Chains A and B, each alone.
Chain A
Amino acid sequence: GQNIDQPTEMTATEGAIVQINCTYQTSGFNGLFWYQQHAGEAPTFLSYNVLDGLEEKGRFSSFLSRSKGYSYLLLKELQMKDSASYLCAVREDTDKLIFGTGTRLQVFP
């Protein structure tokens, strides 16, 4: 079957670095996405990985290992506004994007 696992909640301190892990088991793989969702708002696209390795975009980086079924989202220089849920999603087939339950990150001063 299909399964995407992420930690339910994480906490971190302003200015710190946090790594949110995602493991997946799906019947197919056509890319992995990370989305950010603030409470009461739409999810917004953060990053996309289809090949192994690290993709860097400002304070955010995302890593993928297809052989291990593993990805992480790295957030540097944390700010209070980074408090949100972070959703890992795997494109299993061309028209099927499967989401994890999301990791709720709280950043404290």
Chain B
Amino acid sequence: DAKTTQPTSMDCAEGRAANLPCNHSTISGNEYVYWYRQIHSQGPQYIIHGLKNNETNEMASLIITEDRKSSTLILPHATLRDTAVYYCIGDISNFGNEKLTFGTGTRLTIIP
């Protein structure tokens, strides 16, 4: 699994877009980029994943650079409930994440 690097913490004002970066320069061609988040005292929650193309769902957008060495998770209109630790993970499974390697993640704090 690819090693990922994320900033330790970030703040974002409520209502603004939160942009969370992730470096994954060692990602292999068949590894997807996954994002999960963990709200305090809960289990991690799947957000989005992608391989090469940008992806969008009801929760977020994922922008992957053309060389696939980095990506950005975008929460378009952050709310206080988005305060959580966000994990960027490389995994070869296109869903069916049986074995995830979590790094230290980014602690995102949404400021009122």
Are A and B associated in one complex?
Answer: no
